Amino acid sequence: MDTETVEDAATELVVAAAAVVERGQLLVVSKHAAPDLFYLPGGKPEPGESLRAALDRELREELGVAPSSATPLTEVRATAALEGVPIRLVVFRADLAGRPAPAAEIAALRWTGATVDPGLGLAPAVRHHVLPLVV
């Protein structure tokens, strides 16, 4: 899973994402382009980039920190909440080396538990597939 490149799946959007859990809470982020929609930090691999390398790069760009560890957790096939296209979300269980802070296109970060605040616009793939696995 961690050596796969973006060329391996031309028909769906492939995203490497981090499930970061602290004190029973999952880290979620929103982008400036859609500040009311929260999902896992991460992003699309660049051509020839492995999923793990993309995860490391995206976490540095979006949160200003690198993962201190990242292990494969799950893959979710769904419809991308923003783009409305098929997505393959490759999720790594990750710990961060440092405190995350919004950077680049990230508007905000929040922590959510198993009981999600009704006002939190959590992406369906995160709400239904990732959250139950980690909190």
3-state secondary structure 57-77: HHHHHHHCCEEEEEEEEEEEE
Closest CA to 46 of 5, 92, 83, 82: 5
pLDDT of residue 3: 45
Rounded Cα distance, 78 and 80, in Å: 6
pLDDT of residue 10: 53
List the pLDDT tens digit at each of the 135 positions of the chain: 444 444 444 578 999 999 999 999 999 999 999 999 999 999 999 999 999 999 999 999 999 999 999 999 999 999 988 888 999 999 999 999 999 999 999 999 999 998 888 889 999 999 999 999 999
Residue count of the chain, please give it.
135
pLDDT of residue 116: 87
Closest CA to 40 of 132, 135, 110: 110
